[in-house]
Structure 1
Amino acid sequence: MRRRLPVVYEYFCLYAGLGSLGLMCLAWSPFAALLYLLLPEATGRRVGRLAITLVFRSYIWQLSALGACRFDIRELDALRDQGPMILAPNHPCLLDAVMVISRLPNVACIMKAALLKNIFLGGGARLARYIPNEKPLQMVYAACDDLARGSQLLIFPEGTRTVRAPVNPILPSVALIARRAKVPVQTIIIETDSAYLAKGWPLFRRPAMPIHYRIRLGRRFDPPKDASVFSAELESYFAEELARAQFVPPPFPAAAADASAA
């Protein structure tokens, strides 16, 4: 049973954590935008990705120090020096990318194109050469190029946060990139006991705290030959792994209502 923090303190943790992350991103974004213009592409990519890793790692540390969240994400460290691969986690909440990138400093992230114009995230994402998802074919080519340079690629196979427990239908983009780039697909299993920042959860809605997050490394798949067969196999694998999860989020009705906006 979770021993909840006092409600007033939960509000403090919520606003202190989000405020701190917002300030760090806002402070870095204009410098990142300037460095994007000044630095060679390869140098900018390294600087940008390392900076985002440090910002996210600081945020994770703050949430842990406040007692708002308890993170068990150390298994990710084993991937740091294992070369190019696709990192394919399930996607229960908005913190998923934050947790993964906080441990791995050479990750190319596929992200919503609109975020490149975001005042908080745009400058840093451009400097890090994150890949927008608005044009699927260009996204695939850019992802393969980044993998060829030795990066690891973070992509959520569900395409959006989970709205159909335990996992959404898997999109073919992971298989297409892995097949073209000839790299393995490393599954990552993310567990949580909260619906905080699930699909449809308002940013400033207070969750019950502390929230538990656990990340474990799943099966590593060889580059697939058939995208549809691989997508079905991946969906089945995630469902099996999440069925034995230590932490399971409660149902969040707003997620289902928001599914059409995915």
Structure 2
Amino acid sequence: MRLLRLVSEYIRLYLGLGVLGAICLSWTPLALLAYPLLSPRAGRRLGRWVIGAGFRIYLGFLTLTGACRFDLRALDELAGQGPMILAPNHPCLLDALMIVSRLPDVACIMKAALIRNVFLGAGARLARYIRNEPILAMVRSAIDDLRAGQQLLIFPEGTRSSALPVGPFQKGLALIASRAGVPVQTLFIETDSAYLSKGWPLFRRPAMPIHYRVRLGRRFDPPSDCERFTAELQAYFVAELATRPPLPRHSA
């Protein structure tokens, strides 16, 4: 039985990675063609809709195979609530996928290297996702999207958590929220596995199924003091994540 479970988990791992790669690559040539043909507004709407749909299909596949279980219902409350910054913790590589699968019409700040990535780059450019560098251009683009009524996804740590419960927070989120005059809605991503956390090899097998849950936290008003707000936000995340019990492990 243990050998069968081991083989099953490896099959689900590689199938999951293959399906994600196939979804991204199948959209890449179409996104490349659409980018010069569509207006920025039309391209953004189409690009974000397709990315959201693709991620929903991918998470549905992980659920169907028994690799993962997702509870993302809390995110549905944010649809149509107007411009705000969505600020989640960042335990693993699946975090943005989970959020965008339920809230596709959000602006995302991405690492510049991912914008150039063969799997993600063409779709991200069509969707008008925002490069994280240069910093001033990133801030201006983020403010423009918020003032146009969009919601903006920013991970306060800037990368996956380098320490538990969270790593150091960056000041960019506070600066954007202050200049755009929008609130900051905190999100807490909880899991019972370290799968795809910082330092986890892509092809290392986790115990399955992995459980993920997203819950809403406090909504902060636009900050007036960016440095103080960044420290307050990090302290809030540490208190929330350190005192709440982790998701219990479940058997398949």
TM-score interval (norm. to shorter):
over 0.9
Q: Equivalents in 2 of 1:185, 1:71: separation in Å?
A: 24
Q: Which residue of 2 aligns with 1:133?
A: 132
What SS is found at the alignment partner of 2:86? strand
Q: Equivalents in 2 of 1:159, 1:114: separation in Å?
A: 14
Residue identity opposite 2:161 in structure 1: T
Q: Equivalents in 2 of 1:162, 1:144: separation in Å?
A: 25
Q: Which residue of 1 aligns with 2:72?
A: 73
1:110-259 equivalences under 5 Å are 110-247=109-246
Q: Equivalents in 1 of 2:165, 2:199: separation in Å?
A: 16
After TM superposition, the runs of 4+ consecutive aligned structure 1 residues lying more than 3 A away are: none
What SS is found at the alignment partner of 1:153? strand
1:151 is displaced (CA, Å) by: 1.0
Q: Equivalents in 2 of 1:246, 1:7: separation in Å?
A: 28
1:64 aligns with 2:57: no
1:249 is displaced (CA, Å) by: 9.9
What SS is found at the alignment partner of 1:183? coil
Residue identity opposite 2:120 in structure 1: L
- Summarize deviations over 1:173-223 as a string: whole Å, max 9, x none: 110000000000000000011111001111111111111101000000000
Residue identity opposite 1:124 in structure 2: G
What SS is found at the alignment partner of 2:118? coil
Q: Equivalents in 1 of 2:177, 2:131: separation in Å?
A: 18
Q: Which residue of 1 aligns with 2:38?
A: 39
1:245 is displaced (CA, Å) by: 3.2
Q: Which residue of 2 aligns with 1:54?
A: 53
Residue identity opposite 2:100 in structure 1: I
| Identical counterparts, % of pairs | 65
1:75 is displaced (CA, Å) by: 0.3
- Alpha-carbon contact 2:83-2:151 (below 8 Å) kept: yes
- Alpha-carbon contact 2:211-2:247 (below 8 Å) kept: no
Residue identity opposite 1:17 in structure 2: G
What SS is found at the alignment partner of 1:6? helix
Residue identity opposite 1:144 in structure 2: I
Q: Equivalents in 2 of 1:54, 1:40: separation in Å?
A: 21
1:244 is displaced (CA, Å) by: 3.4
Q: Equivalents in 2 of 1:249, 1:233: separation in Å?
A: 29
- Unmatched runs of 5 consecutive residues or more in structure 2: none
Q: Equivalents in 1 of 2:226, 2:9: separation in Å?
A: 44
- Unmatched runs of 5 consecutive residues or more in structure 1: 251-262
Q: Which residue of 2 aligns with 1:254?
A: none
Residue identity opposite 1:180 in structure 2: R
Residue identity opposite 1:140 in structure 2: V
1:150 is displaced (CA, Å) by: 1.3
1:247 is displaced (CA, Å) by: 2.6
Q: TM-score, normalised by structure 1?
A: 0.92
Q: Which residue of 2 aligns with 1:27?
A: 26
